[in-house]
Amino acid sequence: MDSHIYKKAANRLPHLAGINVIRFNTRGTKSDQGISEGQFGEGITEREDVIAAINYSFDQLGIKKLWVSGWSFGSDLALKYARDKRVMGLILLSPPLRFSTDEDLAFWGQDGRGITALIPEFDDYLKPDQAKQRFAPIPQAELIAIKDGKHLWVGEPFVHRVLSEIVKVISPERLPIPLEI
């Protein structure tokens, strides 16, 4: 929740592109806000966190079109658990695919909903060439290699690129987004 990329998305995208952002930490996550309840579940018990966030978005907030985005471990959680048919698709940032199984990838390949994955050139876990192989079971996945990018998306040019790619998927008519508000 305190990742700089999602803080900036939450602060900028409503104004720049009419996109609302809901951020949450999974169980046991440490942040400036404290520690989330529960314990890290190795990508298993976090299923409940993802499902709760999706249901909250639809049932409490009345969201009509929901895209699920995950960064790093969050991308694995999106691939594993954001299968609710009301979800429009996935936007994955620096997906490590450390917890996603072949069955998870096969599900999305058969499902057909859109998946966009931003793969940093110098990612710590999954580089663009590896991503092509790993995402092969999902023919509709759009893999975007980000030149000079790193796992944490540090620096305003990378933040702008990530936010632009999110807008391109969800609300392309709002492109280009300005560099400053």
Question: Is residue 181 situated within a structural domain?
Answer: no
In a domain, 19, yes or no: yes
Q: What is the CATH number of the domain that holds 107?
A: 3.40.50.1820
Mean pLDDT calculated for residue range 124-136: 98
> Cα dist. 3→31, 61, 151 in Å?
9, 23, 12
Q: What angle do CA 48, 51, 53 make, to 5 degrees?
A: 105
* 8 Cβ neighbours under 8 A, 6+ residues apart: 159, 163
Number of structural domains (the chain) is 1
Note the pLDDT of residue 181: 66
117 falls within a domain: yes
| Average pLDDT score over the chain | 94
Beta carbons of 19 and 13 less than 8 angstroms apart: yes
Confidence at residue 1, expressed as pLDDT on a 0 to 100 scale: 55
**Mind listing the pLDDT tens digit for each residue in 57-111?**
999 999 999 999 999 999 999 999 999 999 999 999 999 999 999 999 999 999 9
Residue 141: which domain range? Answer: 4-24+43-174
> Does any domain span residue 9?
yes
pLDDT greater than 90 at residue 38:
no
Helix (H, G, I), strand (E, B) or coil at 57: helix
* Any domain includes 31: no
**What is the predicted pLDDT for the residue at 26?**
77
Q: Return the sign of the alpha-carbon dihedral for residues 16, 128, 124, 72.
A: positive
Separation of alpha carbons 157 and 152, rounded Å? 13
Residue 36 domain-assigned (yes or no): no
- pLDDT, residue 126, reads 98
Range name among 38-52, 69-83, 93-107, 152-166 with the lowest pLDDT average: 38-52
pLDDT at 131 over 80: yes
Distance (Å, whole) CA 68 – CA 164: 16
In a domain? residue 50: yes
pLDDT digits (tens, 9 = 90+) for 132-148: 999 999 999 999 999 99
Look at residue 41 in the predicted model and tell me its pLDDT.
80
Q: For 1-15, write each residue's pLDDT tens digit.
A: 578 999 999 999 999
As a whole-number percent, the residues of the chain with pLDDT over 90 amount to: 85
- Which residues does 129 contact at the CB level (< 8 Å), separation at least 6? none
The pLDDT-based confidence of 23 (bands split at 50, 70, 90) is: confident
Task: Answer whether residue 33 is part of any domain.
Answer: no
Alpha-carbon distance 169 to 40, whole Å? Answer: 31
